Amino acid sequence: MYVRFWHVALALGLSLGLAACTFRDYHAERSQAVRERMYGRPIAEPIGHLGPPDSAITVSGKKYYSWEHDDGYTTNDSPPVYVPLTCKLSVTVGPDDIVERAVFLGNRGACAYFLDYLPG
């Protein structure tokens, strides 16, 4: 009985580990695809999908836009603990309003919010 339990525990652990790797790879591939899709495109496209940016500044002819998303969850611990999830999408735009750079900064779960709204 002990040996069977050990095998089941090992199989479950490996399955969960592979699932985590698959999610991580999917997220990385999807965010890369979204960033590549944004390069060379008008800034009007991400604004059309995400709405107005949370902040926008212009420095030396370049415009910097950013969108932020906050989310989180509460654990089942005793006492419960709130785990905040945040993500910031920063986009650099040239004087011709064409996207030159896009960067996601934050937690995978919160950044998935942007990936759901942007084509890629």
As for how many domains the chain has, the answer is: 1
pLDDT in tens, 84-103: 999 999 999 999 999 999 99
Q: What is the pLDDT of residue 20?
A: 40
Percent of residues in the chain assigned helix, strand, coil, to nearest 5: 45, 35, 20
More confident residue, 116 or 2: 116
Residue range(s) defining the domain that contains residue 43: 2-117
Taking CA atoms, 73 is separated from 46, 82, 86, 107, in Å, by 27, 6, 11, 13
